[in-house]
A and B are shown apart, each in its own frame.
Chain A
Amino acid sequence: MINAITPSRELRDTCAIVGTATSKLGKVPGVSSLDLLMDAIRNALDDAGLKASDIDGVLCRGPDESYSHHQLLAERLGINARFSTTLTNGGASQIMSVALAVMAIRFGLANTIVCGFGRDTWSRTHASEEARVRNETRPESMLAREFGPEYGYFGATAAHAFGATRHMHLYGTTRDDFGEIAVAFREHALRNPDASMKKPLSIEDYHAGRLIVAPFGIYDCSLRSDAAGAVIVTSAARAKDLKKPPVMIKGFGFQNNTRGWFADDNMVVTAAKQAGEAAYAMAGLGPKDVDTAQIYDCFTYMVLTQLEDYGFCKKGEGGAFVSSGALRLGGALPCNTSGGQLSEAHCEGMLQIVEGVRQLRHLYPENRQVKDADIALISGHGGNQVCHSTLILGRA
């Protein structure tokens, strides 16, 4: 066995996030994912009081079909970058890019790095009848060759639903528990003028929603969004005299349960466990120190199991924990306070980082602010359900 390695504590607090922003979120027809990301980056530069020429590093996740996405982005930014690459770790990429930025800055490979991600998923799949048809009638040659499609097995909803069923079987977790997650995040979205979802959601509405792949119904599933977000990372020294209060990068950790989602107990004890342990160790903190969690909520169940894996409650007690109201603003662990991917917009974890930074700046109006938030834990999840990243941020 290889012992778990703690990312060097010497990296703790060496870098800060000094600018953050999003594009317009939700339905943004006629704008490519690259231009959405450019909107977020321009806004993030403005937020930090920096110019494009101050940036010498670009780390982004591109759409899978795009080659050297980071180059296309830097070209649009009008810069040559010293340290620049595209990451492909699914929804875990966004936190990984921030961690890579810290390492690059610490070792002198760059001074100020922009990390971001943009997608035009709503426009590509839902904006028009043509887009809808194109999305729903992909040729058989684009499906997996075998061991899935012949059984009618398609899509990420089903993959995650297998975990939900298993968790319900082992621990008695219910759809009421999943529903509370959807309802809490919708309530947060209603306080966020940029969020896609504007209508209140009750637990009755949740249960009345049509089933997609049971145990998941429509309200267990995240949104299809046009959305981009960006953060700007620089050294703690340089961060001191910029426009907004810097937010310190205290810890990060990663785990990839690459033996597969269906292997071992990976569906109910996710890679968040080891990623979180590594991040806590680097930050010198534990779950009791966390004031707000911004969790990768592709599906309701994934929030519940990650909260357990991060140690906010014991394994199997996630249902009771969320149903206590803990996740609500004002609760024990306000979670996905911008509405999350379930109700704000789905940008594969990027908006969770943005929201974590914003909470720690204490610049929100009272009805959105987690009171006295000093520490935020942020998660990223993806890559065939098994790649995980954790970021711990702290108020300077």
Chain B
Amino acid sequence: MMSDLVPKPKPRPAPESLPYWQAAREHRLALPKCEDCQKFWFPPSRTCPHCLSTKFSFENVSGKGKIFSFVTFHRVYRPAFANDVPYVVALIELDEGPRLLSNIMGVTHDQVKCEMRVEVVFDDYDEDISIPKFKLV
């Protein structure tokens, strides 16, 4: 099929997010955590947005959270997603606080609801990149 020939966009890690993607490749979800205030944040940056400390490291999170909100794409914005519509993009609120966008695997769009519990799974894009996605628990 046409869309099988068009690859989906491959993440292009920024310098500050490289450790996130390195962890994902090892199927770990790791976010920057402040060594001063002990809070996580996302997306990765070199300054803690909670206290402006620059002392941090990437630490594993539980990978568990809930669906804060979601949308269902019916329109094909790029040919690579032509075979996927209708597909869900969800805003996941991790138990550690940060929110991030992802897909919900293994369900149809009409089964998804706000507040559903989810946990991370990893979708291997190629030998360099694995993409964190989520499934219902």
Q: Which residues on A are within 8 Å of B, measured CB to CB? A: 136, 140, 143, 145-155, 157-158, 161-163, 165-166, 169, 210-215, 262-263, 267
Contact = CB atoms under 8 A, between A and B. Distances in A.
Contacts of A146: 11-14, 17, 21, 43
Nearest to A163: B69
Contacts of A148: 101
Interface in B40-66: 43
Contacts of B113: 169
Given A140-B9, A165-B70, A214-B72, A150 B125 contact: yes
Contacts of A212: 74-75
Nearest to A165: B69
B22 interface: no
Interface of B: 8-14, 17, 21, 43, 68-75, 77-78, 81, 84, 86-87, 89, 91, 99-103, 109, 113-115, 125, 131, 133
Contacts of A151: 89, 101-103, 131, 133
Contacts of B10: 140, 150
Nearest to B84: A152
Contact of B69 (A145, A152, A267): A267
Most buried by A among B73, B78, B102, B115: B73
A212 B74 CA distance: 5
Contacts of A154: 77-78
A205 B130 CA distance: 43
Contacts of A262: 68, 91, 99, 101
Nearest to A216: B71
A262 B69 CA distance: 9
Nearest to B70: A165
B11 to A, nearest CB: 4
Contacts of B21: 146
Contacts of B84: 152
Contacts of B125: 150
B131 A150 contact: yes
B89 A158 contact: yes
A149 B99 contact: no
A243 B130 CA distance: 66
B122 to A, nearest CB: 12
A162 B69 contact: yes
12 contacts: A146-B17, A147-B100, A149-B78, A151-B101, A151-B102, A151-B131, A152-B87, A165-B71, A169-B115, A213-B74, A214-B109, A267-B69
Contacts of A161: 71
B77 A162 contact: no
Contact of A152 (B70, B73, B99): B73
Contacts of A169: 69, 113-115
Most buried by B among A149, A157, A215, A267: A149
A147 B69 CA distance: 16
Given A143-B9, A145-B12, A262-B91, A155 B77 contact: yes
A327 B109 CA distance: 33
Contacts of B12: 145-146
Given A146-B17, A151-B89, A166-B114, A213 B131 contact: no
B104 to A, nearest CB: 10
A148 B73 CA distance: 13
Contacts of A166: 68-69, 114
Contacts of B89: 151-153, 158
B75 A145 contact: no
Nearest to B21: A146
A158 B69 contact: no
Contact of A158 (B14, B17, B71, B86): B71
B47 to A, nearest CB: 14
Contacts of A214: 71-72, 74, 86, 109
Most buried by B among A143, A161, A210: A161
A153 B78 contact: no
A148 B103 CA distance: 10
Contacts of A267: 69
Contact of B8 (A150, A155, A210, A263): A150
Nearest to B7: A140
A162 B99 contact: no
